[in-house]
Every structure is written in C-alpha cells, then in structure tokens.
Structure 1
Amino acid sequence: MTTSSLRVLFISHAYVVGVNQGKLQAIAETGTEVGLLAPSNWKALEWNRLLPLETPYPKIKTYSAPVLFAGKGGAHIYAPWKIWRVLNDFQPDVVQVEEEVFSLCALELAIWSRLTGKPLVMFGWENMDRQLPLPRYWVRQFVMSTAKLIIAGNRDGADLLRQWGYNGLVEVMPQMGVDTQFFAASMRRRVSAASPPGEAACRQTSPERTNDEFHIGFLGRLVPEKGVDIIFAAVRQLQQQGLKCRVTLCGSGSGEEALRQEAQKQQIADLVTWRGGVPHHKAPEEISKFDVLVLPSRTAPTWKEQFGHVLIEAMAMGVPVIGSSSGEIPNVIGRPDLVFPEGDAQGLAAILERMIREPEWWEETGRYCMTRVYQDYTHERIAERLLSLWQTLLNDKSRQYAMS
C-alpha cells in the first residue's frame, strides 16, 4: 500500500484544540488520508470551560460526537453506534487512539479492532505504575493484547509497557512535535544564509540584556511540582556571586502566592517579573525574550515530568534550555551538561553561571538545541516515523494473510 492510498483515523480528545493538529496536517501533506474523531463537548476541568472542536486544516476529515464524562481522560466514552458510523464512513486502514491503554475509549476501539481485524495503534503518556482498580486493570490487559503497536511518549512509559506484559512493537516519541514556522528563531538571533534553519551553521548574537542582565525564563504552571522555587534559590546564589540576571515567569497556578513569598524570602523579589498566563499564540514572543529557558520539575508521589513540550518549543527557536532530571526531561534535552539533579539549586546555578561567564558555550548550546529539534521533534519528522511504522504493520499483516 502506498502512502497516497493509506487511510488513518486518529481518535483523541487532545486534538479538539487546533494548534495540536499540526502533526496530523504534516501527515496529510504526504498524501495520506487523515481522519479525526474528537469530542464535541470536551471540557477543560481546570478552567471549567467547554472546548469546541476546532478545524483549521481542510485536509483533515473531522468527525465529532459527544462523550460521557467529558474532561476525564481515562473515563470518557463515545456512544458505540457513533464510533461505528464514523469507522464505516471513513474506512480506515489503521486506527490510532491517543488515550491511555486503561481508558474506556481505548476499550471501545480494541473491541472494534478484534471484530474487524484492522490494526489498532495506541499512544499514551503514562510513566508511573499506578494501582488500578480491577476493571481498569482488565481493560489495560485487553487493550494491550489487541494493539499491534503502542507508542509511548517517554522511555519510562515504554519500560512500563514491558513491565505490564506487552510483547508487541513499542516506539518512543512525543504525541506531537513542534511547529518550526510558529516557533521560529527569535528576532535577536540570525541564521546563516548558506544553510537552512536548524542546521549547525545557525549562530546567535550575544544576548540583548538590560544592564547586561541574563534573562532566565520559565513557561508553565505555577505549581509545586514544577520546581520554580529552585530557580529562585539558584538566582540567589548567582546574585551572591555578583552575576546579574532576571527571572521571567510566564504562567499561573495554585502555587503562585507561595512562590511570591519564596521570592521575598530569597531576597530576589525585585529580580522576578510575573507575566501571568500566556496564550499559546504569544508563547514565541515571550520565549524570544529569554536567554535560557529552565524547566526545574521535581518528581511527586503521583507525578513526574512526562515530556516537557515547552523545551522543544524553546529549542526550535535556538533558545538554550536547562532541565532537571525528572522523568523524560534528560532524554528530551539529550545533553548531560544541560541537566541538573532535581531539587538541586546549586547544580542549576552552576550551569547558569557557565552560560553567563562563557558566551561562546551559551551560543553553542543554542545551536545544539535547534539542530536537535529539527532532527527529532518537528511535526514533519514525527509524521515520517509514524508513516514508516504504519507501513510496517500493514506489510506484516499482508504477509500473514498470504501465508494463511
């Protein structure tokens, strides 16, 4: 089967938001027929807001249907007849369900896969071995025994799948990549005309700093597990060494008041700018003001960093990143000298100090970050990997059919 004749249906609540559909569009650009089924009544429970299905890409054939338990990733479920109606209309060669393997939505499509013989592909972020109620445990085992391929969003998730007894094909890649036209090299950086964006020839100008200050940025939720207080402690150490820097926080959350108190305690409150929540369309503008983006997440009893998508957004712009050792962060960054042990303010301060004192090294890390994104994390690169995996599944199925 050629790419142009391949029909793939995606099912996921994540794609109700149009900016998340870039990967699907990249797949559709190859000539593959792409369908999408997403809830018509999805709720963002954190903000108690209804999210209607957005349709920014005409090449993606979209279907919507209401779900029970809208807003709950593992519990939401479609009416069975609606799923069958969509499947009969689109006639997919492959169905890719981007929900956890213990979700009820996954169970619905696993039953369809067994009845039709069509291959089921799963994607999930889960990277912690949670104790599941018996019904959910049964769902997980049924879905895993049905899926021909499971994509884990991180390496810990892939290890868990094996621990849970899955013996099929496992790949590790994020659910979606980064739009390198949207998250483009910032205005204060220039790219050599002799090479395309993302190549090693990209070079950066010196940071544009107010009063020669080094700008440390964070973009994300202001909650304890994101570890923003570690940035404050590190900046306090840099200040004691006479190094000039500022912190810009883009985000909101339940931990904001505690963080404001921590900034006062560390005697750096005058060095912190609080930008509040930043809409996605303004994220590149904010990131372009950073000399470095820091993601200092710390593992909690029920959570550890599953990927850290903001990392690849900054990296795509040539902004150096530093991250903690929590979860998938070290694998996303791919360089030990840009990773510090979670909770270790002194370790973070040491990397920041080197960036400030060695502008050449700061420039080199920015070039590295951009190159890594173009090699591994663009929508187009992820689309290429998925197409190869689907072709492998369908070729294996054809061989099995020929031998029967």
Structure 2
Amino acid sequence: MKLLVVGITYLSRINWDKYITMARLYPDSEFRVVFPERSKDNFGKELIGQAADFGNLKFIPLPAYLAQYETGHIYGNEFKKLIQEFRPDVILVEHGAFANSLAQAIWYKKKFSPTTKVIFFTWWNLPYKLPFPRNVIEKYNFQNTVGAITGNMDAKEILVSRGYCNPIEVIPLLGADENTYMRRSQPELREKYLEKEQVGLLYAGRILEQKGILTLLRAIKRLKKLELRTKWKLLLLGDGKLKPVVENFIRENRLEAVVTLLPAVDHYEVIKYMCISDIFILPSETMPYWKEQFGHVLVEAMACENVVVGSSSAEIPNVIGDAGFIFPEKNDEALASILARLVEHDQLRKEFAQKGRKRFLEHFTHTEIAKKTFEACRKFSSLREKIIATT
C-alpha cells in the first residue's frame, strides 16, 4: 500500500514515531508524511519543519499558506506534484472534517490520481455550526471521502450527527514508546521533592480552569483534614493563566506542606516526575467551548506505572478503562475519597500500577496504534465514495 499522510502534527519531530514504527512493520509499503514547512505553536513559538528519509518513509515539509491554522491552511504546487508522482492508494488528512487541505487533497486526487481513496482524521468532540463557506467545504469533503478516523467516541458521534454515513474507526492519533515511558529509579529527584515512604501524587499539564485544578486542590484540602496515617504530597507541574489563582488557593488554605507547585518542564522531563510519583490525577472538566479530547498524559502515566485517577469528562473513562479510577467531574469529595483509599493501601496501588502498564502495552504503544491505523487505511482503500448529505 502507498499511504500519503497530511498532518500539521508532524512539524514536531516528537510525533514521528508512529509512522517510523509503521514503516518498519510494513516494509513493502511506501509512506509519505506531509506538513507545513513552518508554522507557530499555541504559544506563538515558530516551528520549522524538517525533512527526513527513512527508505520507504519520507517526511516532507511543504510551503503552506495560513499554516498557523490547522483547518484553514492550504499547500502550494509542491503538494499537487507529490500526488501526481506518488499516486497513493490512500490519502489520510489529519486536519478535521472541514479542513481546506482535505478539500485540496480531494481536488488533486480527482485530477491526477482518480483511483486514490481519501480519508480524514478528527478530534472534534463538541457540537458545532459552520458558516459559509465552511459548511460547503465540509459537505464536499463528506461526499468525496470513503471513511474517517476519530480520536475519541464523541468525535465519531459528532460526525454521525452531521450526516456522515461512511465507516468510522476510533483510533488515537498518537501512542507512546514502551521503552521511553517506563518506570526507572530517580533517587535524586525523589529525594528533592518527596520524603522517604511518602506517597507521591502528580498532576502535569496546563494550569487552566478546564483542567479541573481547583477541584483537585479542594480535594487535597479535604485529604489534609483526614489526617491519614500515610504521608503524601501533591506535585503540581505546569504553567498557565490560572497559576496565580492556584498560588492564592494554596496559600489561603495553608496547603504548602502538602502541595508543591512547579514550573512546566520539557515533554520528556515529565517522565522523571512520573517515575517518582505513585498516583497521577487528570481532573479535567467539560466547558461549553472545550472538553478533553483524549488525555494522552494518562497513557504516559500508565506506562510509568502510576495509578491513574481521572474525571468522567469526555474520553477520559475510555482511556482509563478498568485500569484506574474515575470520579464524577467537579466532585472534589469523590476525588478525595479515591485518593485517600489509594494513599492508605499500598497493595491496591501496586495492583493498579500493573494494570495500567498492561493496558498501555495492549492498546497505546506506537506499535499498536500503527497497526490499527494501517489496517484501517487498508480497509478504506477498497471502498467507494458515497454521495451523502450533511445537516
């Protein structure tokens, strides 16, 4: 199979591993991964794309217009030439259902590679209305794709509600490497932040309202009042606009002895903090404008044998499955109860740490995600387009 992937995600080298793994697993197939040659991240930092050749896999940065907009950008003539010359069996555009680049890929394939099948990936998990011409672009994309991959169940339901009738597979966009994300001793770091025998609780991510940080801190306040026999401490790792509020809450409620607030660190540095912690909490909360699309940090925490505790928001329960604990979102009392039980029961922590690692290995490694994505693309390659309507 010849697969052409279009995804702004691959501007960052850290996200290449799925397709590197896929190319290794399927050496008789050919892969091309295209992304804008430059763009900006969510914090305004400029990103420069890098080309790389792995034999049957090539990463190709291309000139793009409006590259800072995931759904709005389009590519230059080099994209057309690539489709003409490569003539893929499948084009997978990872920019959502109403992306300009998806419509562009469809248009070029019709003119230069008519047997190619086009599919798309989307995370979009909230209901939406589209103004003109976005609604026209989405309808065109729906009519000219043979299938879709969504990163969560809510996104699949959204597509169906909008009239998409073709097959939809639910597969996470990215996995994690089992040899990178694994528990290793970090004695110096642990000694710096945790006492001997102290149970480490961890949150790592953006310090924002929708991440449920205040619910977590209210649960910590409850936990402190319980005066548990086992010592514990929460490490809050990250930055964001809610940080001053968090600092005030910690100070006003005298939580300094049980909460350490730390700045954000490099992605791979987070692994070290997971390796000194025992329990990882993701207390995300659904907002009118946002809900957790996946919670990839849970996958990483399970890989590092943290017991994972997550809210009931969006995809979090599906990621955790039976390998961790779920509390009703915004319910600090329920969260405190779960944390108290885990802090006091060492054997329970060990049991769920192993369950988490097992779930990670079975579902969320690069190998597993690569296999599922490849098989979905191969299945879609044999399908025909259906003319369908959107709501």
1:58 Cα deviation from its structure 2 partner: 2.7
1:222/1:254 contact within 8 Å kept: yes
CA offsets, 1:24-75, max 9 Å, x none? Answer: 111100213211111111111x322211114567343122122222221121
What residue number does 1:220 align with? 205
1:383 Cα deviation from its structure 2 partner: 1.2
What residue number does 1:376 align with? 363
What residue number does 1:7 align with? 2
2:102/2:141 contact within 8 Å kept: yes
**2:390 matches 1:390:** no
What residue number does 1:265 align with? 252
For the residues of structure 1 that align with 2:375 and 2:382, how far apart are their CA atoms? 11
For the residues of structure 1 that align with 2:185 and 2:219, how far apart are their CA atoms? 28
1:35/1:61 contact within 8 Å kept: yes
For the residues of structure 2 that align with 1:209 and 1:368, how far apart are their CA atoms? 24
CA offsets, 1:186-206, max 9 Å, x none? Answer: 3379xxxxxxxxxxxxxxxxx
Question: What runs of 5+ residues in structure 2 fail to find an aligned partner?
Answer: 188-192, 385-391
1:248 Cα deviation from its structure 2 partner: 0.9
What residue number does 2:320 align with? 333
1:110 Cα deviation from its structure 2 partner: 2.2
**2:76 matches 1:64:** no
1:287 Cα deviation from its structure 2 partner: 1.3
What residue number does 1:43 align with? 40
For the residues of structure 1 that align with 2:19 and 2:291, how far apart are their CA atoms? 27
Q: How many residues align?
A: 372
1:25/1:57 contact within 8 Å kept: no
What residue number does 2:78 align with? 82
2:7/2:95 contact within 8 Å kept: yes
2:2/2:31 contact within 8 Å kept: yes
What residue number does 2:180 align with? 182
What residue number does 2:106 align with? 110
- 1:64 aligned counterpart, secondary structure: strand
1:211 Cα deviation from its structure 2 partner: 4.8
Question: What runs of 5+ residues in structure 1 fail to find an aligned partner?
Answer: 1-5, 190-207, 398-404
Give the direction of change, closer, same or farther, for the CA distance of 1:143–1:263 in structure 2 (3 Å limit): same
- TM-score calculated relative to the size of structure 1: 0.88
What residue number does 1:247 align with? 234
For the residues of structure 1 that align with 2:253 and 2:139, how far apart are their CA atoms? 49
Which protein has greater RCO, CA pairs closer than 8 Å, 6+ apart?
2
For the residues of structure 2 that align with 1:163 and 1:285, how far apart are their CA atoms? 42
- TM-score calculated relative to the size of structure 2: 0.91
- 2:233 aligned counterpart, secondary structure: strand
One-letter identity of the residue aligned with 1:69: L
What residue number does 1:27 align with? 22
Alignment equivalent of 1:130, drawn from 115, 128, 131: 128
1:298/1:324 contact within 8 Å kept: yes
1:186/1:318 contact within 8 Å kept: no
Alignment equivalent of 1:172, drawn from 170, 173, 181: 170
What residue number does 1:360 align with? 347
1:114/1:146 contact within 8 Å kept: no
1:387 Cα deviation from its structure 2 partner: 2.1
- 1:288 aligned counterpart, secondary structure: helix
